[in-house]
Amino acid sequence: MHYPLLFKTISSKIAQKDMDLITAYYQQLRRWQEKKISREGFSKKLRMIGGDDHLLKTTITALQRLPHTAMRMEPVTGFC
């Protein structure tokens, strides 16, 4: 699953300050040349902020049930 799609889906369900943190960590992950954060490290932070037990699991499950064509990505400002 693409992170920007997940972010777009959860952005209305969590506080803006938490979304800002997730975005900042994602930007660090995208700058892999600088090795600021690993994918595993980002995933841990995402689960900590987003609430692994409820929000992320239910959101990911719902997104995985969408038809493949519904999951086509469009650029999302701030996440790429």
Average pLDDT, stretch 27-38?
Answer: 81
Global pTM reads 0.63
The full set of domain ranges for the chain reads: 3-66
Flag whether pLDDT at 4 surpasses 80: yes
d(CA 11, CA 2): 14
- The average pLDDT across 63-76 equals 57
Spatial distance between the Cα atoms of 62 and 80, rounded to a whole number of angstroms: 23
Burial class of residue 33 (count of CB atoms within 10 Å of its CB; 0-12, 13-18, 19+): exposed
Q: What pLDDT shows up at residue 66?
A: 67
**Confidence bin at 16 (pLDDT 50/70/90):** very high
